[in-house]
A and B are shown apart, each in its own frame.
Chain A
Amino acid sequence: DQQVKQNSPSLSVQEGRISILNCDYTNSMFDYFLWYKKYPAEGPTFLISISSIKDKNEDGRFTVFLNKSAKHLSLHIVPSQPGDSAVYFCAASDGGTASKLTFGTGTRLQVTL
């Protein structure tokens, strides 16, 4: 039972445009959501997070939006850069901490010149 779903395995975006990565979840107990970025042969690196008491969190070019009623979150990258090409994982936890994360299957983003 996949509790965190990333239905798009891959996404290609031109440099300078907006990248939108989507994530859906089924467990209503999830109250903390995160995005991680992973380059080949490296471990995932934390990108941005959002608590369920918010609907938006912004950090530079990265913004995460949370729609609790739809159990949906999205990551917006504006403007996209070639260095953003990586696999992006959505993750969620309950209890308001990030100690035990449930990850999605990832979306591979390719930013083209």
Chain B
Amino acid sequence: GAGVSQTPSNKVTEKGKYVELRCDPISGHTALYWYRQSLGQGPEFLIYFQGTGAADDSGLPNDRFFAVRPEGSVSTLKIQRTERGDSAVYLCASSPRLADTGELFFGEGSRLTVL
């Protein structure tokens, strides 16, 4: 498809486990963003990339969270030693360049449940 693709759509894991969430942005989009949406809340900024580099990772909650985008396209969000409080929908978005008009194209999200 032509949109932002996120896998898996659903992930259930146990507390303490390691998790990887993948985002495949729209082809040609150089900017990529990760947000997290907890129940009853709006999306919360985590990190964004311009190309391969993390331009701003100030939203990552702690050092258990890490994201990479090695070739400037697909990105992986990695969560170590998961905790119940990490349960949320993780949203990825992309834009043709660093967003100047607000039109971030979001994927459907990866729902993470930590038991």
CB distance B31 to A43 under 8 Å?
no
Chain A binder among B66-74, B76-84, B100-108: B100-108
Give min CB distance, A50 to chain B, whole Å.
9
Inside 8 A of B108's CB, which chain A residues have their CB?
A: 41-43
Q: In the complex, what's the smallest C-beta–C-beta distance from A20 to chain B, in angstroms?
A: 19
Q: Give the size of the chain B interface in residues (CB under 8 angstroms).
A: 30
A104 to chain B, nearest CB (A): 5
CB distance from B20 to the nearest CB of A (A): 19
Binds B, one of A67-75, A77-85, A95-103: A95-103
Q: Which of A97, A98, A103 contacts B42 (CB 8 A)?
A: A103
User: Across the interface, which residues of A come within 8 angstroms of B44, CB to CB?
Assistant: 103
A49-B107 in contact (CB<8A)? no
Answer yes or no: B115 CB below 8 A from chain A CBs.
Answer: no
B48, closest chain A residue (CB):
A99
User: Interface of chain A, helix or strand or loop or mixed?
Assistant: loop
Q: How far is the CB of B13 from chain A (nearest CB, A)?
A: 21
User: Is B91 an interface position by the 8 A CB rule?
Assistant: yes
Question: Which listed residue (A41, A98, A100) contacts B100, Cβ 8 A?
Answer: A98
- Give chain B residues whose Cβ lies under 8 Å from the Cβ of A106: 42
Residue B25, interface by CB 8 Å: no
Taking residues whose C-beta sits less than 8 angstroms from the other chain, chain A's interface range is 20 to 34
Residues of the A chain whose Cβ atoms lie less than 8 Å from the Cβ of B45: 100-102
Complex: A34 Cα to B43 Cα, angstroms: 13
Q: Could you tell me if B104 and A46 are in contact, using CB atoms closer than 8 angstroms?
A: yes
Q: Is the CB of B109 within 8 A of A43?
A: yes
Give the contacts of A50-99 with B (CB-CB under 8 A).
Answer: 89, 91, 96-99
Q: A91-B42, A99-B31, A100-B56 are in contact. List 14 more A-B contacts (CB 8 A).
A: A34-B102, A43-B93, A43-B108, A45-B106, A46-B104, A96-B100, A98-B101, A98-B103, A99-B33, A99-B55, A100-B45, A103-B43, A104-B42, A106-B42
- Which 10 pairs, one residue from A and one from B, show the smallest C-beta to C-beta distance? A43-B106, A103-B42, A98-B102, A98-B99, A49-B102, A34-B102, A46-B103, A103-B43, A44-B106, A105-B42
